[in-house]
């Protein structure tokens, strides 16, 4: 599950084409006419080409916008109508600078009449139609064009590239994002027709694998970008081995599998190789053996399946960036890592073990990410000597020991620090002044306490601070709250911090995400900023009204969790403007009164958890507009009224519906049966009456097992923005949770909810027969219909419900025999049929006899093992042998492993265990090659979801502004 978006911008070397004409030069009339013809087919809504015209003041076309002429001959040599110009920031990031509005319309072939045109750049516009530049005969045979870019014209098609033969002088060809899916002979046409080509960019073109082609010569080519196609053919890979001048090769996001050929060894000038997101499975050392080492500066093999240990890299003496995250590397670091030029080392998400390497030789190192590996041992103080280091992430390893000031002594450039999820203990003196000013501090589960860390006092530029689970049991000092309002993300959760919290409305500025959960903060809910992205104050000692949430007036709030406090009063009626609100959890407080109708305006609401309060009244009709609801948990309140059919017909995405322990009455409406995604349907402890609809056998999610269910249950929501004013969003996963009656006890489930499929209608006044159709719910794990007025026989085919672990039909008026198929329920380990009018002999099976007799008690006419009363005709000591049901053998085999039922895997959820998160901001791919990437990831690892933080709309806005 990987969505990855890379925007690669090419810095074009425009200088060699003579930008800037001599103002004294005037243009040639026929060329001016050709340009006007060119303009005629364009749509220029923003009047970008206002300088182009036939009016007297516009006679010199050499002065027109985007046109350049030769200083001596006056011929038009350059036509540059690109909308953007890439600009490089000091850190090497590319920002796209829009220098004009977009043009659209058709590209007229009249530019071919500009016989001296060498440079044509039409990139980043909205040109459409077919670009088929076939010149007329009288113009001569070939174009003198050296540079052609049609980059990022999404509606443009260029046919099959036969036209390339008219441009034999091309050095630079950039057709990024132009559809070439029909051009099966692209490789042949390029190599046959463009002998002088140096730079080729056919990225994101939907390129097909080429047909085999032997006479391949692109010996001058230095730069090739074929990224974001679906290429897999070895024909292409082999071809690169022959491009002996190659300096930059970008094959990111294709489907190349296995390895690269030995011929890559010929590429002795190769400086950057990007094979990120392919399916390489080689041993890393074998892979590297196929590369000529000396010249290589950037190697990116991120997201492949490369195996083996990290070999000695000394041969790659020029290496500046090594990106190997998310492969399957194992074993320790090589004994020596002598890479004096190394600036970036990224090995995140492998299984590398052993000690941290000594990197002091690499004194240019600015970026080091070793997070999510299996590193152990202590951290040597020498890491503190990497004075250029800006980014240091060793999170989620098994590192241990004490961290002291010395570990940071020379890290004066550090901006990003992540030591989270190790076993590190900070022993830092209270008057330490760190040498750095951090943007991002992540020290989750590092032992920082019991005192609040005083060294944070001078970290005033920090935009992200996570010191959750840090063993801090202090009062949060005022200087902390009084810091400059730069924090965009604050996580103090899972400590024992105490005291009052101040007025937040002035302590934060830009859409903060605030998590103070699981502490001992007290007093009223603080005054809140008007803009908040996410707010979690759960599991504290807050009391009083929650009406202050109405002070949040901006629409951006996506997550609100105030559960498990002592909050009281009404739920305010101010929800209209929270258009992005995904999650409301107010459970386990003492809120009272009715649900306000403005909750119905929350069209994005996915979880509404209000259980265990004192809420009352009927559910507002407006609630039916919350079509995205997945969790509706209203249990443990005093809600009343009928269960409305719209709960079934409108909330088709509901996974958890709990109305337990309220005062709902009347029939269960047929509409409920449309809840085809529901895992938990809990109407227990109400006053419901009438018959159970036959359609109760229709709940699809209880009939089938869907692989994707886990993802459907835990949903990712945007928890806030990453610090450092970048484009990345922090995504978090909301782990759905439910409080259910499980095997006789109330339990809260979080993990494994996907396996938990429950119907609980116990303790109502339901009557009539249990519909036979219910037996088709083969995935149901627990069925509780106890304490109702059900009558008739137990469903004959109950043996079809083969995942049932818990069946409670007690305290009804069921009669007749226990169906023999009950013996087929291998997982059953809780059974209660007591207090009915069942009769006859309890069917024989290993399991049914193993239950406590109380499971059958209160049925006077029931007889046989394990009940004490024997059936008529059966005598003590002459038990008949077990009836062989065909499954008997299996049952006996499983008996020893009785515990290993699904229940074994349904471990208790760790409460509200949401908030697993990680963040992938733009990678710091610095640029030596004229390329740079903004990168946004959406990834899933075992316990960690990372949301594709690419907010396309945001990016587009940025590009357009």
Ligand X SMILES: *[C@@H]1O[C@H](CO)[C@@H](O)[C@H](O)[C@H]1NC(C)=O
- Contact residues toward ligand X (CB under 6 A) are 18, 20-22, 71, 353-354, 376-377, 564-566, 588, 652, 676-677, 700-701, 748
CB of 709 to ligand X, least distance (A): 9
CB of 21 to ligand X, least distance (A): 6
- Closer Cβ to ligand X, 17 or 316, answer by number: 17
Say if residues 643 and 688 touch (Cβ distance below 8 Å): yes
Say if residues 670 and 647 touch (Cβ distance below 8 Å): no
CB of 635 to ligand X, least distance (A): 11
CB of 652 to ligand X, least distance (A): 5
Beta bridge partners of 440: 416, 464
Closest by alpha carbon to 539, among 588, 501, 504? 588
CB of 681 to ligand X, least distance (A): 15
CB of 17 to ligand X, least distance (A): 9
CB of 948 to ligand X, least distance (A): 24
- Closer Cβ to ligand X, 449 or 909, answer by number: 909
Say if residues 688 and 666 touch (Cβ distance below 8 Å): yes
Alpha carbons 426 and 434: distance in angstroms, whole number: 13
Say if residues 348 and 328 touch (Cβ distance below 8 Å): no
CB of 769 to ligand X, least distance (A): 27
- Closer Cβ to ligand X, 407 or 721, answer by number: 407
Alpha carbons 405 and 381: distance in angstroms, whole number: 9
CB of 751 to ligand X, least distance (A): 16
Task: Tell me if residue 480 falls in helix, strand or coil.
Answer: helix
- Closer Cβ to ligand X, 104 or 676, answer by number: 676
Residues ≥6 apart with Cβ < 8 Å to 272: 247, 248, 249, 250, 296, 297, 298, 299, 300, 928, 929, 931
DSSP assignment letter at 661: S
- Closer Cβ to ligand X, 18 or 866, answer by number: 18
- Closer Cβ to ligand X, 224 or 655, answer by number: 655
- What are the b/e assignments for 39-63, b being 16+ CB within 10 Å? beebebeeebbeebeeeeeeebbbb
Task: Tell me if residue 748 falls in helix, strand or coil.
Answer: strand
CB of 571 to ligand X, least distance (A): 17
Task: Tell me if residue 671 falls in helix, strand or coil.
Answer: helix
- Closer Cβ to ligand X, 523 or 866, answer by number: 523
Q: First and final CA of the chain: distance in angstroms?
A: 32
Task: Tell me if residue 888 falls in helix, strand or coil.
Answer: helix
- Closer Cβ to ligand X, 142 or 910, answer by number: 910
State the CB neighbour count (10 A cutoff) for residue 725. Answer: 12
- Closer Cβ to ligand X, 286 or 653, answer by number: 653
Angle 467-468-470 (CA atoms, 0-180°, nearest 5)?
75
Give the H or E element holding residue 239: helix 234-240
- Closer Cβ to ligand X, 652 or 951, answer by number: 652
- The per-residue DSSP string of 245-284 comes to T--EEE--SS--EE---GGGGG-TT--EEE--SSEE-SBH
CB of 244 to ligand X, least distance (A): 32
- Closer Cβ to ligand X, 256 or 699, answer by number: 699
Closest by alpha carbon to 841, among 879, 804, 884? 879
Q: Greatest CA span in the chain, whole angstroms?
A: 122
């Amino acid at each position: 599950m990987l969505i990855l978006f890379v925007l690669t911008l090419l810095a074009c070397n425009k200088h060699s084409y003579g930008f800037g004409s001599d103002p004294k030069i005037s243009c040639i009339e026929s060329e001016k006419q050709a340009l006007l013809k060119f303009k005629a087919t364009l749509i220029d809504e923003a009047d970008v080409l206002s300088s182009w015209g036939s009016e007297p003041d516009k006679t010199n076309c050499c002065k027109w916008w985007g046109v350049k002429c030769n200083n001596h001959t006056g011929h038009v040599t350059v036509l540059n109508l690109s909308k953007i110009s890439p600009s490089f920031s000091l850190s090497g990031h590319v920002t796209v600078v829009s220098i004009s509005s977009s043009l659209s319309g058709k590209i007229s072939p009249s530019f071919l009449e500009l016989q001296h045109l060498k440079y044509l750049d039409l990139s980043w516009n909205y040109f459409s139609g077919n670009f088929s530049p076939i010149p007329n005969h009288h113009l001569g045979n070939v174009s003198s064009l050296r540079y052609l870019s049609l980059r990022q014209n999404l509606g443009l098609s260029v046919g099959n590239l036969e036209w390339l033969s008219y441009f034999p002088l091309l050095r630079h060809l950039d057709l990024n994002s132009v559809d070439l899916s029909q051009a099966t002979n692209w490789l042949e046409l390029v190599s046959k027709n463009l002998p002088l080509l140096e730079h080729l960019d056919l990225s994101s073109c939907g390129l097909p694998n080429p047909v085999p082609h032997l006479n391949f010569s692109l010996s001058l080519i230095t730069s090739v970008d074929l990224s974001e196609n679906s290429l897999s053919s070895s024909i292409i890979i082999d071809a690169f081995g022959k491009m002996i001048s190659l300096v930059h090769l970008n094959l990111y996001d294709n489907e190349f599998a296995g390895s690269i050929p030995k011929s890559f060894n010929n590429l002795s000038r190769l400086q950057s190789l990007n094979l990120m997101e392919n399916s390489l499975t080689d041993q890393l050392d074998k892979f590297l053996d196929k590369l000529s080492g000396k010249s290589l500066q950037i190697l990116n093999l991120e997201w492949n399946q490369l195996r083996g240990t990290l070999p000695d890299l000394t041969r790659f003496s020029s290496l500046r960036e090594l990106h190997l995250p998310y492969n399957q590397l194992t074993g320790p670091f090589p004994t020596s890592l002598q890479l004096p030029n190394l600036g970036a080392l990224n090995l995140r998400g492998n299984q590398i073990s052993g000690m941290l390497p000594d990197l002091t030789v690499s004194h240019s190192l600015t970026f080091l990410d070793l997070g999510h590996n299996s590193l152990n041992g202590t951290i040597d103080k020498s890491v503190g000597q990497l004075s250029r280091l800006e980014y240091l992430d060793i999170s989620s390893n098994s590192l241990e020991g004490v961290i002291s000031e010395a570990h940071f002594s020379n890290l004066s450039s550090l901006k990003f620090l992540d030591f989270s999820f190790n076993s590190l203990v900070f022993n830092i003196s209270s008057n330490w002044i760190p040498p750095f000013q951090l943007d991002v501090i992540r020290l989750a589960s590092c032992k920082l306490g019991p005192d609040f860390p005083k060294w944070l006092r001078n970290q005033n530029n920090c935009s992200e601070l996570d010191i959750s689970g840090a063993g801090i049991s202090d009062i949060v000092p005022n200087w902390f709250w009084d810091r400059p309002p730069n924090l965009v993300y604050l996580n103090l959760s899972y400590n024992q911090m105490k005291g009052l919290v101040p007025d937040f409305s002035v302590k934060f500025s830009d859409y903060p995400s605030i998590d103070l959960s699981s502490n001992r903060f007290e007093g009223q809910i603080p005054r809140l900023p008007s803009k908040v992205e996410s707010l979690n104050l759960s599991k504290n000692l807050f009391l009083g009204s929650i009406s202050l949430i109405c002070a949040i007036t901006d629409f951006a709030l996506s997550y609100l969790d105030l559960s498990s406090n002592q909050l009281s009063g009404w739920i305010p009626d101010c929800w209209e403007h929270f258009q992005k609100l995904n999650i409301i959890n107010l459970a386990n407080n003492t809120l009272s009164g009715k649900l306000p109708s403005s909750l119905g305006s929350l069209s994005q609401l996915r979880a509404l958890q209000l259980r265990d309060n004192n809420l009352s009244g009927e559910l507002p009709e407006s609630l039916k507009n919350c079509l995205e609801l997945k969790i509706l948990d209203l249990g443990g309140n005093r809600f009343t009224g009928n269960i409305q059919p719209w709960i079934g017909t409108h909330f088709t995405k509901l996974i958890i519906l709990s109305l337990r322990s309220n005062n709902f009455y009347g029939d269960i409406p047929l509409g409920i049966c449309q809840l085809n995604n529901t895992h938990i349907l809990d109407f227990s402890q109400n006053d419901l009456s009438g018959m159970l609809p036959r359609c109760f056998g229709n709940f699809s999610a209880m009939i089938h097992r869907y692989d994707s269910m886990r993802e459907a249950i835990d949903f990712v929501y945007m928890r806030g923005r990453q610090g450092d004013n970048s484009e990345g969003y922090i995504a978090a996963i909301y782990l759905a949770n439910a409080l259910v009656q499980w095997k006789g006890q109330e339990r809260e489930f979080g993990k494994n909810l996907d396996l938990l499929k429950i119907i609980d209608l116990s303790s109502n006044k339901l009557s009539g027969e249990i519909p036979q159709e219910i037996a088709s719910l083969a995935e149901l794990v627990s069925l509780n219909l106890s304490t109702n007025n059900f009558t008739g026989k137990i469903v004959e085919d109950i043996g079809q419900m083969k995942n049932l672990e818990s069946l409670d039909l007690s305290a009804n008026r069921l009669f007749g025999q226990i169906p023999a198929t009950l013996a087929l329920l291998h997982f059953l380990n809780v059974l209660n049929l007591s207090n009915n009018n069942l009769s006859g002999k309890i069917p024989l099976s290993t399991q049914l006899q193993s239950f406590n007799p109380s499971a059958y008690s209160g049925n006077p006419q029931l007889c046989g093992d394990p009940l004490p009363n024997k059936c008529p005709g059966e005598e003590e000591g002459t038990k008949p042998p077990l009836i062989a049901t065909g499954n008997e053998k299996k049952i006996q085999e499983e008996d020893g492993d009785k515990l290993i039922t699904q229940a074994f895997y349904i471990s208790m959820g760790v409460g509200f265990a949401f908030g697993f998160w990680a963040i992938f901001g733009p990678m710091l791919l610095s640029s030596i090659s004229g390329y740079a990437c903004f990168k946004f990831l959406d990834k899933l690892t075992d316990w960690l979801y990372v949301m594709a933080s690419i907010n396309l709309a945001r990016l587009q806005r940025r590009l357009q502004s």
